[in-house]
Homo-oligomer: A and B are copies of this chain.
């Protein structure tokens, strides 16, 4: 090789090294196995194949970056939801904290049930009772104050049976999947029945999703000037419940484009999956099926929380990908090796 040839080779090598950091730093990791917590099999193959097809410019199914929208449910899809939605456990913790200022709660359901640990009595109050719990614990303060309450809870609260922070209970395979999609220039949104302001304070550090890409249920807020300072005050009034047929409505309102991929785990995600997968071109619908009673929980048709019945039926008809947690996931949580 001539000296000039060597120089050219050297320059090429330096360019490769020096420029690699300027683009997408996750590429090299992704190139090995972007879904290393997933067992090999049909599920993993279907997901990888879809992403390859829509991101390969030579493919008939190629989708430009700006249209690569993916939506993920949160409870039961990105983290666990047992023994109850974690937001409900938050509301109950919060209620106990506020109880000294509210002696009337000692005699009134659903508050009494929470304070006495009688969850059957709480459950018996149904949706109206749960809404009362949410209003009593989520409203009556400014948005800045509520954000601090959530941040403090997430930093200190522990799951009742597993005794770890709730944010340890996010599914490692799903974190990998979201990172993989982001590396492939998807824009990833969370579309959850959970409270939008309950999620936003921690989703960026835990999921890598910024607050503006979190959609959820909300209570009303009102703008006020207090002592010359503008504040947003949370009212004890429902604004929007982001569940079932409202999920496509919220997707339309917040995103304004139809996702090409949607990920859920319950009947509450059925319409989101229908909407995403009915669009033209290649589409991916994925349902996380909780089949692992040992490492997580096993439930579907009979469950109150995260009931999966109609959507599982339709997954078969429509060819959606069903993740069998027990079979498809090498590990469940990042904090544990199983």
Chain B contacts for A58, CB-based, 8 A: none
Give Cα A32 to B277, complex, Å: 46
- Verify if A136 is at the interface (C-beta below 8 Å from B): no
A85-125 interface code vs B (CB 8 A; 1 in, 0 out): 00000000000000000000000000000000000000000
Residue A278 is within 8 A (CB to CB) of chain B in the complex? yes
| A214-B11 Cα distance, complex, nearest whole Å | 45
Distance in angstroms from A159 CB to nearest chain B CB is 25
B253→A218 contact, CB < 8 A: yes
Are B14 and A143 interface neighbours, CB within 8 A? Answer: no
Contacts of A211 in B (CB 8 A): 255-257
Question: What residues of B have a CB within 8 angstroms of the CB of A238 in the complex?
Answer: none
Q: Do A257 and B221 contact each other (CB < 8 Å), given the known contacts A11-B14, A15-B14, A19-B22?
A: no
Interface of A is mostly: helix
Instruction: Please name the residue on chain B nearest to A255 by beta carbon.
Output: B212
Instruction: Tell which of A40-48, A168-176, A222-230 binds the partner.
Output: A222-230
Stretch from A76-84, A244-252, A291-299 at the B interface? A244-252
Report which residue of A189, A225, A256 has the largest number of chain B beta carbons within 10 angstroms of its beta carbon.
A256
CB distance from A166 to the nearest CB of B (A): 20
For chain A, the bracket of interface size reads: 35 or more
Known: A23-B22, A223-B271, A223-B275. A253 touches B196 (CB 8 A): yes
A293 to B244, CA, bound (A): 52
CB of A18 closer than 8 Å to a CB of B? yes
Task: Determine if A7 is an interface residue (Cβ-Cβ < 8 Å).
Answer: yes
- Cα–Cα distance between A255 and B7 once the two chains are bound (Å): 50
Interface mask (A185-226 → B, CB under 8 Å = 1, otherwise 0): 001010000001100100010000011111000100111010
| A274 at the B interface (CB under 8 A) | yes
8 Å CB contact of A212 from B23, B187, B196, B274: B187
Which of B11, B196, B225, B278 interacts with A230 by CB under 8 Å? B278
A35-78 interface (Cβ within 8 A of B) = 66, 69
Contacts of A212 in B (CB 8 A): 69, 187, 189, 212-213, 254-257
- Is A282 an interface position by the 8 A CB rule? no
A232 at the interface (CB under 8 A from B): yes
Measured between alpha carbons, how far is A14 from B196 in the docked complex, in Å?
Answer: 48
Given contacts A11-B11, A14-B15, A211-B256, 13 further A-B contacts (CB under 8 A): A7-B10, A10-B11, A15-B15, A18-B19, A19-B22, A189-B212, A214-B256, A222-B249, A223-B246, A223-B275, A225-B274, A230-B278, A239-B253
| 18 sampled A-B residue pairs with Cβ under 8 A | A15-B18, A18-B19, A22-B22, A187-B212, A196-B253, A211-B257, A212-B255, A218-B253, A221-B253, A222-B249, A223-B249, A225-B274, A229-B278, A230-B271, A230-B274, A232-B248, A232-B252, A254-B254
User: CB within 8 Å of B: which residues of A?
Assistant: 7, 10-11, 14-15, 18-19, 22-23, 66, 69, 143, 187, 189, 196-197, 200, 204, 210-214, 218, 221-223, 225, 229-230, 232, 239, 245-246, 248-249, 252-257, 271, 274-275, 278
Closest 9 CB pairs of A and B: A211-B256, A22-B22, A223-B245, A200-B256, A212-B255, A230-B274, A223-B248, A19-B19, A230-B275
